[in-house]
Amino acid sequence: MNYPIFFDSKNSLSLFGLQKNFKFIFELYKKKKLPKVLMLSGNKGSGKSTLVNHLLYSIFDFKNYNLEKLTFSDNSIFYKQFQNNIYSNIIYISGSDFKSVKVDNIRNLKATILQSTISNKDRFIVLDDIELFNHNSLNALLKIIEEPSKKNYFFLINNKTKPLLDTIKSRALEIKIILNESQRLEIIEKLVIFFNLELTLNPKSSQLSPGNFVKFNHICKEYNIIPTNDFVQNLTLLLNLYKKYKDVLFINLAFFIADNYFKNSKNQNLFKNNKIFEIKNFIFDNLNNFMLYNINQNSLINAVNDKLSYE
C-alpha cells in the first residue's frame, strides 16, 4: 500500500520537540564520548526514528544540516542515498515484521561490520523495533554488541510494545523519549502545518503519539472513518482493509477506535456494567487473534455484536 511521504521518518526534514535529546547525543558524538550502544525507548510514534535520522544527517552531511533549526536539505546526495538504503556506512534492520529478522540476518551483520568502513568513517547500525526481534536473533545480536569494533555504533529503537531482554538493555545507554501533553500537542500541530494535513481526528481527544496521530488521521480521512460513528461498522471496515493490505496499522487503529468507543459519553451505561472490562478485553484479545491466527472475520464481528448486547 502506498502511503504519503510523512509516513516514513526518513522524509522528516525537520525535527520537532526533541531538541534537547538531539543536542545531548550530538555533543556526545562530537566529543567522542558516544557509547557504542545507545537505546532510545518510548512509545511508538514519539519521534525516536526521526531523531536517529537527524543525528545521521548531521554526522554524514554536516554542511547540509542546520544545527540551529534542526533541518536538513532534501537536495543532498547523502539524503537520496539514505532514502534508497544505499549508503554503506548505515545499516538498517527493522523488527516490525519480526518473522523476517532471522539469526542469519544478525550473523550476516557480524560479517559486514568486521569489514572496513568506506573512507574510514564511522558506521551506524540502526535496529528498529528491537523489542520485536525473536529470542535467537537477540542472543546473536548480544554477542556482536558485547565487543563491537571501534568504528561501529549501534542505535537500538525500543518501542516498548513488549518486554526486551535485560541482557540487551544492560549493554546500552538508554535514553527515554517521553513527551508531556504540551509537547505532544505542539509536535502534532507542527506536523499538521508542515505537511498541510486536513484533520479528521481531534489531537486533544486522545493520547496518541504524534506519529500515530498523523497516520491514523490519514487513514480515517482516506476511508471516511469517524471514530464516533457506528463502532461495528468502523471495525468491519478496518478488518477488511487489514485483510486486503496486511498492514498492522489498520489493527492498531481498530484498537484506538475500540478504546475511544468505550470512553465515549454516549456509552456511559456500558461503563456502569460490571462486564465492561470483560467486553473490552474480549474485543482486544480477538483483534490480536484475528491478526495472528487469521480467525474468521464474520465470526469475530458476530461475537462482538453479541458482547455489545450487554449495553
Residue 311 has a pLDDT of 55
Phi and psi of 144, rounded to 5°?
-75, -50
- Residue 308: band (very low, low, confident or very high) from pLDDT cuts 50, 70, 90: confident
- Nearest 10 degrees: Cα torsion 158, 162, 167, 171: 10
Residue ranges per structural domain of the chain: 5-176, 181-308
User: Over the stretch 86-127, which tens digit does the pLDDT of each residue have?
Assistant: 999 999 998 875 556 788 888 889 888 888 877 789 999 999
- Mean pLDDT in residue range 223-249: 94
Residue 115 and residue 147: Cα distance in Å, rounded? Answer: 15
Fold type of domain 5-176: Rossmann fold (3.40.50)
Q: How far is CA 121 from CA 87, 138, 153, in A?
A: 12, 26, 11
pLDDT at 248 over 60: yes
Q: What is the mean pLDDT of residues 49-64?
A: 96
pLDDT for residue 228: 86
Using pLDDT thresholds of 50, 70 and 90, give the confidence band for residue 268: low
Q: What mean pLDDT do residues 158-178 have?
A: 94
CB of 78 within 8 A of CB of 87? yes
- DSSP state, residue 66: E
Which of 171, 214, 173, 218 lies closest to 190 in space, CA to CA? 214
pLDDT tens sequence across 180-195: 999 999 999 999 999 9
The CA distance from 192 to 217, in Å, is 10
Q: Is the overall model pTM greater than 0.85, yes or no?
A: yes
Percent of the chain past pLDDT 90, that is, above it, reads 68
Answer whether 249's CB lies under 8 Å from 214's CB: no
Question: H or E segment at 152?
Answer: strand 152-158
Euclidean distance between CA atoms 7 and 9, whole angstroms: 6
pLDDT of the residue at 270:
53
